[in-house]
Amino acid sequence: MGLEGTRLPTVRHWSITTRLTFLYGIYAFALLALASNIVYWSMLSNIQTVEWKFLTNKVFIFRTILAEHAADSGTLKQEVEWEKIPPHSGQYYAYYSRISDLSKKVILQTPGFDEALTNVVFPQPVRGDVDESSIERWKSVEGKSYLLISAWSKESKNRATDKTIDVALDVTQEDILVDQYERQMAVVLIIGLMLAVSLGYVVARRGMRPLTEIAQAAEHITASQLHERIDPERWPKELALLAGAFDRMLDRLEESFTRLSRFSADLAHEIRTPINNLMGEAEVTLSKPRTTEEYRQTLESSLEEFQRLSHMIKSLLFIARAEESTKVVKRTWLSVHKELESVRDFHSAVAEEKGISLRCECEARLWADQTLFRLAVSNLLANALQYTPSGGRIVVVVTQTAKGGVVINMSDSGCGIEPEDMKRVFDRFYRTRNARSDYPMGAGLGLAIVKSIMKMHGGKASVFSVPGHGTTFTLHFPPCSEGP
């Protein structure tokens, strides 16, 4: 079994939890930042719109008063000296205005104008319509913020009576509000980021918990509890696939494991019998003086047991080597007919004694190891001869498949194999109950060797049987990928 196998490259990455936490954090923070920015900008633009509207509106009012009520200095005065107006009517804004003539002489200005707006420089007065582009921002010495606008009164017939209108709006409160909002936003964002990261971590951990649990479940399974399963039903959909694959791997492992432990037990048993014979015979022989002939017989009997053991060891080693696949297969082109004839010839004495007819019909070319091929067919034939009663028949049919591939069917008219035995006949030491009682001398390795040989050739051996009507063994040699 290829346990030395392939390990996946071990590149150490971040843990999934870290990655998820990181991603959650980034996303949550980005969303939070986006939302608060949208609110911020819309608030800012609302405030500005209101401020701009106020200023342009003031300019419009002054222009109107100057143009249409030039004589009515009271209205103008009232408008300029707004302080005189009782604080009502939703007047939020503190503003200063000044009306001056062409020679820059101040005609009228809000009381406290010069104190509040020391050294102020208004932008160039605008002649036409005023809009937000004519507004400038200015900071006073006291640190207050103002929005400034300057405009000409509506054009008169002779320009000599033109006046400049300067309006300054105190927006300090609004700026403080915006500043405050910015600070709060920063705090909210920092807290939000921390919350996002820690919640993200919790979510990631929660999300990953099934993985940890599945690992624990897997951890639980040891060699002695190979029958336990993870059960795909128990897990979320994403893990069910993994659990299923894992369970199937366990199935295969358990099967191999069972085979292996059964093999060890069988091996111990198979060795025990000859050892027992050897010990017993030697002990009994030595228990009292005996004739040379008796000693000879004991030794001869021992030799037979040793032969059995020796043969068993050789067979087992052969199979083990085949599984390690260190055994070199020396392939040549074989005439299947010729090879089958020589194997048949080898077994013909036994076949004749039992009155079993051997027939092979075929001609095919096969790219395989001659000795191994003969051994495989010989083992199959020996097996068939053993389980076919006198007067039976054995038929070998060979089919050539593409490019050196061959299928060999060997059918006998023997007792057949029970379905429950069929799966295991190729196992080492496996013998059906009939075989055990009728032919106690066999070791049960012949078919295992056949299987190994087929494996070495990249093919496989299979069996089909109807109990009472005979058995068909099939050797599949795949088309050759190498060679001429």
Partner 1 sequence: MMRILIIEDEKKTASFLHKGLTESGFVVERSGNGEDGLFLASTEQFDVIILDIMLPRLDGWSVLEALRYRHIETPVLFLTACDLVDDRVKGLELGADDYLVKPFAFAELLARVRTLLRRNPERQLSITHIEDLKIDPVRHRAERGGKRLNLRPKEFALLLLFVRRAGEVLTRTLIAEQVWDMNFDSDTNVVDVTVRRLRSKVDDPFEKKLIRTIRGVGYVMEEG
Q: Which residues bind to partner 1, rule: CB under 8 A? A: 300-304, 306-307, 309-311, 313-315, 317, 321, 326-328, 342-343, 345-350, 353, 371, 374-375, 378-379, 382, 442-443, 445-446
Residue closer to partner 1 by CB (options 42, 371) is: 371
Exposure string (b/e) for 306-326, b if CB count within 10 Å is 16 or more?
eebbeebeebbebbeebeeee
Least Cβ distance, residue 451 to partner 1 (angstroms):
16
Residue closer to partner 1 by CB (options 156, 302) is: 302
Residue closer to partner 1 by CB (options 259, 354) is: 354
Least Cβ distance, residue 284 to partner 1 (angstroms):
18
Least Cβ distance, residue 436 to partner 1 (angstroms):
16
Least Cβ distance, residue 471 to partner 1 (angstroms):
18
Residue closer to partner 1 by CB (options 232, 442) is: 442
Residue closer to partner 1 by CB (options 52, 318) is: 318
Rounded distance, CA 9 to CA 21, Å? 25
Residue closer to partner 1 by CB (options 230, 449) is: 449
Rounded distance, CA 362 to CA 375, Å? 19
Rounded distance, CA 191 to CA 107, Å? 56
Residue closer to partner 1 by CB (options 357, 371) is: 371
In DSSP terms, which residues pair with 465 in a beta bridge? 471
Rounded distance, CA 158 to CA 128, Å? 17
Angle at 376 between CA 374 and CA 333, to 5 degrees: 45
Least Cβ distance, residue 312 to partner 1 (angstroms):
9
Rounded distance, CA 212 to CA 210, Å? 5
Q: Is 387 helix (H, G, I), strand (E, B) or coil?
A: helix
Alpha-carbon dihedral sign for residues 386, 392, 398, 399: negative
Least Cβ distance, residue 263 to partner 1 (angstroms):
19
Q: Is 455 helix (H, G, I), strand (E, B) or coil?
A: helix
- Please report, as a single letter, which amino acid is at residue 103: S
Residue 110 Ramachandran class (φ > 0 left, ψ -120 to 50 alpha, else beta)? beta
Alpha-carbon dihedral sign for residues 278, 283, 284, 285: positive
Rounded distance, CA 451 to CA 425, Å? 10
Residue closer to partner 1 by CB (options 97, 315) is: 315
Least Cβ distance, residue 310 to partner 1 (angstroms):
4
Contact 423, 415 (CB under 8 A): no
**Size (the chain), residues:** 484
Q: Encoding tokens for residue 475?
A: 């050797």
Residue closer to partner 1 by CB (options 140, 277) is: 277
Rounded distance, CA 206 to CA 212, Å? 10
Look at residues 170, 143, 154, 140 and name the one whose alpha carbon lies nearest to residue 54: 170
Residue closer to partner 1 by CB (options 44, 443) is: 443
Least Cβ distance, residue 472 to partner 1 (angstroms):
20
Least Cβ distance, residue 422 to partner 1 (angstroms):
23
Least Cβ distance, residue 206 to partner 1 (angstroms):
56
